[in-house]
Amino acid sequence: MKQIVLGKNGPKAPQIGLGCMRLTGLQAAEAERLIRTAMELGVCFFDHADIYGGDGACESFFAESCHMTPALREQMILQTKCGIRPGFFDFSKEHILNSAEASLRRLKTDYLDVLLLHRPDTLMEPEEVAEAFRLLRESGKVRFFGVSNQNPGQMALLNEACGGAILVNQLQLSIAHCGMIDAGLNVNMENGASVDHDNGVLEYCRLHHITIQAWSPFQYGMFEGVFLGNTEKFAKLNEVAERIAQKYGVTSTAIAVAWISRHPAKIQTIVGTTNAQRLREICASDAVELTREEWYELYLAAGKRLP
Ligand SMILES: NC(=O)c1ccc[n+]([C@@H]2O[C@H](COP(=O)([O-])OP(=O)(O)OC[C@H]3O[C@@H](n4cnc5c(N)ncnc54)[C@H](OP(=O)(O)O)[C@@H]3O)[C@@H](O)[C@H]2O)c1
């Protein structure tokens, strides 16, 4: 599995991580098999959040089903998130500290590799967040920090207070949901694709060495569904992905990830499969380097446009 460095000086991590948001849909034995398969494939990076499964259920289930031990823990990179509460967002020092402590207990570990702030809280006081990060770092409870779903201004505001602590920004990104790419490709055009909803987040992250993690790499819209196999809405994309998949001897699932990995921003893809066999198919993307022509052909097949 190809490795990337998170942020400028963060840990090395596999380019594919396993998202654990859907884990509680499995039986314990299936979850154990999925996690074991991930480790065998080199996918030792696991993405959690305090809210997944409701009230930390996915974190607890993860640690129980893989029979977490200190030795196994050492082989993993564990990332979790905090800041979403029922009906509001909370980046207060107290909530960040309490949430990190609860995640540590549920994951049966005494340190988190990465802690992300899940969704922007407009009531955030950057100095308060910086203080929470300092306490967590100095106590050895959290090694690295990042954000999710933030725009450049929000990251800059936080980074100024936190001394550049933000290594990662986790954002929704797939061939069928890539506004951050559309806007850059359509600059100056009088069409909707030129509208930049994210304030140049892709370029900002590249300039500031902040690793983008792609969430929901197989979905379109906000959890509207999977575009692979959806020939009603994405006939052309499925046709092109299948053809390119055959050329490389992989599945179209691998091609969807290869499309993200091909971007020079060195994006880490967080896949949410709960199926060990599908995870194997996804990891076959590691050996695929799409040509420039193939990358653009897939982009256009997804219904996107170029000037
Ligand atoms: N930061 C955020 O705000 C945020 C938001 C959402 C998610 N996330 C993170 O991102 C991770 C991934 O999100 P996600 O689960 O929505 O992403 P995803 O990998 O795009 O979707 C996975 C789902 O698609 C299904 N699927 C059906 N056909 C598929 C195919 N051909 N290839 C791949 N999957 C197929 C999978 O089923 P099977 O299980 O049967 O394979 C699974 O239910 C989450 O686990 C979480 O860690 C972060």
- Evaluate: CB of 218 within 6 angstroms of ligand 1: yes
Dist. CA 134–CA 287, nearest whole Å: 39
Give the nearest ligand 1 atom to 23 CA: 45
> Which of helix, strand or coil describes residue 3?
strand
- Evaluate: CB of 170 within 6 angstroms of ligand 1: yes
Residue burial 129-157, b: 16+ Cβ < 10 Å; e: rest: bbbbbeebbeeebbbbbbbbbbbbebbee
Dist. CA 265–CA 286, nearest whole Å: 16
Residue whose CB lies within 8 A of the most ligand 1 atoms, among 58, 116, 151, 271, for a mutation test:
271
- Evaluate: CB of 145 within 6 angstroms of ligand 1: no
For residue 296, indicate whether it is catalytic.
Answer: no
Residue nearest atom 36 of ligand 1, based on CA coordinates:
273
Q: Is the pLDDT of residue 192 over 90?
A: no
Kindly report, residue by residue over 244-280, the tens digit of the pLDDT.
Answer: 999 999 999 999 999 999 999 999 999 999 999 999 9
Per-residue pLDDT band for 138 (boundaries 50, 70, 90) equals very high
Residue 26's region, left for phi above 0, alpha for psi from -120 to 50, else beta, is: beta
- Evaluate: CB of 80 within 6 angstroms of ligand 1: no
Q: Is the pLDDT of residue 223 over 90?
A: no
Q: Is the pLDDT of residue 44 over 90?
A: yes
Residue 23 per-residue DSSP state: G
Strand locations in the chain (E): 3-5, 12-14, 16-19, 45-47, 77-82, 84-85, 88-89, 112-117, 142-148, 166-172, 211-215, 219-220, 225-226, 268-271
pTM of the model: 0.98
Kindly report, residue by residue over 273-306, the tens digit of the pLDDT.
Answer: 999 999 999 999 999 999 999 999 999 999 999 9
Whether residue 18 contacts residue 45, with contact meaning beta carbons closer than 8 Å, is answered with yes
Residue type, 201: V
* Domains of the chain with bracketed CATH: 3-301 (3.20.20.100)
